[in-house]
Structure 1
Amino acid sequence: MVADRASFEVQVSKDGRWSTNTIVYKEDEARGLAKKLLADKKCEGAKIVRNWLRADGTMVESEIFCETRTVKDDGPIRISPIDSVPEVKCEKPEDFMGDSARGVVNRVFRTYLDKQFLTPTELMHSFKELKRLQEKDSLVPSAVDRVAQLQTKDGEQDAKSRSQDIFKSIDEISNRARRVESLKLPKLEGSFSEVMAKIAAMGENEDRDYLAMVVLSRDLMNVRNWVGKLERLCNLAVADNDPHALEMLDGVIADVLGSNVVQDVLGWQPGLGAAIIAMFDLAAGKMKVQKTDAGESAEVLNRLFAENKLPVSKACLLDRAHRQIRSPNPLSRSESEKEGEEFKRVLHRTMTPTGFACGADTAEALTTRYTRLVEQGGSAGRKAALESMFRILPDRAFGLIYLCDMLTTPYGTEHAAAIADLLGMVFRARVIGEFCERTLPPKERMIRATNAHHAVMASTFPPETKQKLAEHIDGILERYLIDEQIVEKLDHHDSPLRDRAVRLVQFCAAGVLPEGKAMTRARQRILALLRQPNFDAHFIDGFTDPLRAQKALRDFHQLLVKAGFG
């Protein structure tokens, strides 16, 4: 009973900051874990904090072990391995300043940037920092070679000439940074948009946005930790209402989120699966910030995401989540037998009413992860993963949305025949209870089926396949309307004409049915009502105020237009 009131928090030091590694309930286990951490030569320190729960419910913390040390520089810094780059090549120096290009810089120079506490934006807008990077071992040539190889594997250009193009742009970026190095620019005091206005008033020949980024970079270079940079940027974003200024800040926040600060923002997580779920929560602005090690900046960031003010940062965070899903790292930190269970938790978190959170990107990442849960390897393993993923989804409608997504990925090219075979299971679902989850309410069932219809019509299936699938789903929905007498219930004759008409039109305007036989059946019922003699007079029957009667008619006619009766 006494032991249950004590827990032992094992913390690890990195870059001078302590963060929780794990929590256990036995002191000897905690000491063993701390010793194991310290066995790593790269570990800067480990400590154990004993948490004691008093009878009155308060928690008492006491440090029972702590060891720190200076970690020696372990040789030359190398580029981080990358296996993908954006499809569109950067042609001009300005292109290398774009969001996707900075994302590549963030990944390939990750070790160097973490060591220097620099974002790609700071790097590209400071001649001093660019020069320092170019003088650091063979970092830049190695990075350029790797990017050139990835960008020329389709054979349209040879890697050597592509490398030369990239080096030329790097020189131009460096020369531009050198030209403004000695330029006296305003300090970042007040809002970012105010600084942009001051720069515009200076009348310099250089582009205003570029100089504004120079000012921001100079400001951020004074902050030598990631949490501090994030806090500074988030506060600037909150304080600014100018859309363009916020757009520029969003890009730099995305740069910061490419670092290990994400771990601080998420706080301690029991495993990779939980961390991935937390990343999706954060991107949606729904993260529980109680666990965070980033303090108030995590709360502000969460709020900015909730307000949809950081689209570039959101894309960066979700890209990171997808790369973690694809990675070979286990989702469960210590219990390998729970890997399948953790996968299902991640799977369910990434599902939305319209499909996966990021469509094909999420579907492909999850399928790649699932290849580690099947026995087969290689092409057979990928096929088995695709088929298993389809079967574990909640219903055939969601499975069809998944297949539409996978068709646009390399899996679709490699296993088109397997996808075609799985469509047979979709066609065998003859009624809505076989096509959609039985536990869903009637409206949600129809929406699920309609979303599958939309996915099919937007897919890359051959036209004849799309037509067959669309007609099949439409038939399921029409049969459901007939069997459940959905339209008849909405048009109940005991209700006043106005209520019946409004209910039917709202039903057609609600997006619960696609264009087709099912929708036509509902519209025909509405047309029958509209064609009744003196419909308008019957519709406003009961109104004593002429103005209210006119408004009711206007609102109804607007609803008719929304429902496709324009």
Structure 2
Amino acid sequence: MGTGGDQDHYEIHVLKGPSWAFFATAPDREEAVDAALPMVGRDGVLAVKVVRESFDPVSSSFKSRTVLLEGRQDAISKAKPLPNREDSRFCFKVDDFYSLYGRQQIAILLRQELDRWVITPTELLHVPDHVDRLQATGTVLQHVVQKTAIMQVQQTKRPVTERAKELYDLIGQAERRLFTDKKHKRLPILEKGGTAALLETIDAEQNRLYLLNCAVCGYLAPLKTWRSKLEAMMALLDEPGVTAGPRRFLLQVIDVITGELLSSSVALTELVGASPDLATQLGAVADLYLGRFAAADALPAVRMLNQLVGEGQMISARTALARRVLGEIATTRPLTKGNLAAEIAALGTLYRRFDHVEGTLVQLDEIREAFRGRSERQLGSGVVSDYLAATPSSLDRAEKLLALEANVIGLGNKRRLAGFVGPLLTGPDAQGEVVVHEGHPMDMLRRLVAMQQVVLASQLDDQDKDKLSGRLDQLNLLLFERSGILPRAERSAGGPIDRAITILRLCTAGILTQGQSRERAQRRALALITREGLIAFMTGADEAERTARRAILRNLLQDAGLENVF
């Protein structure tokens, strides 16, 4: 059952006979194309096409444009068009209930009931006892139909009662089909050890997908836990005598049911175990998505699922795992029980697992955008203010924010972070903290160097990097000059080269920032290194000592960034 939503969507149409038939909808072109192309040549599908439907508010109608057409040209040329409908996201025929979009809507509208009964949408559609249970609830089905009808008539201006009646008629047709097949014993019964025989029996049937779904779902019907259902499905795939072709067909059905199963948070918790926080749970889901789930106490069925997903054999299941993570990322549920730093670190760790992996109906750009959105919310002004509230020092605040950078997702969010750090370093408070501080000036100089190194090693925008690095250099230079460290080095004992060596050691001691501060010391050291000074530096030393002194000076110059002096 479809629902209203975005003004544009993409439909997948399939050609099995003389006429095109609606199969499913997708939110974007890439997902629709990826789902449509593998269908050609399978289960009687002669051709597929993807159609973009754009709603025109002026005419209150949808305008169609075909963006993909693939398959047998002779069949395409003779095919009759799809019958006109007001909105093909909705269910207008019984088969629409079985489509990807139809099953997704069933999952959304009946989530609580499905979890309570421990069944998936596909099971509900293919097992008469499950349908009886839904009908027995009375008000649940009535509420779902009313809610769906109201959403669907918002653009068409049709009476709600008229659309509700259509939906009840479609539900009735689906029920009659299922119960008639049951009455006439047309629903195949799958028994343990009989998978190969069943697949052979239905292989030539035109509706073999429907029959296999009924058989597998009927086989799962007596099982009352998600764990036992996954175990049963994985065992079916391992039954002896099932050859490669029939096994692929069986896997297609099991993949869909497993994907629906994994869409339930209740089922996921039962399969991967309870977690202390959401980040840990999503980490386990991400590992399963990547085929890397390695919990020591993992169920054998989960290990087999992990292998199949990792090998790319269960696209629906893998897509459900990705959707599960993205769904949670879109919420405001905290990932951890810690502060903002813990939340941002958890998000960054999770993002790095997904950032390079494709191969599902979820596009990589969609994954990145979901994480960027969560990262943006984490950097809200109020959230950051609360995080810094107990930290009065401007430098301490800047350090705390810079420590977040590695796990902030998206260049725009990194710019936002830099926007919080900049005023903390340029304001009078930071300058006062640098000039007037407890402890030795060397400690503060090293702190400023460490902060600059964090900035330079970051993935901040180059402009932001230059601004923050430059401001830290200014603060470092200010303290370096006021501390009198350089004049004392220039007055140290020994000749000009000895004093130059003392200054060069300042350049390599980790107390001078890159920029003006280090350049000031470099210039003063170079001014002391004259020909006369070098002669005096070497006078009175034997050859071994002169070699050692040259090596010391050369190494210091190199470490201070002045390797081209000699």
TM-score normalized with structure 2 length? 0.48
TM-score normalized with structure 1 length? 0.48
Q: Which has the larger radius of gyration?
A: 2
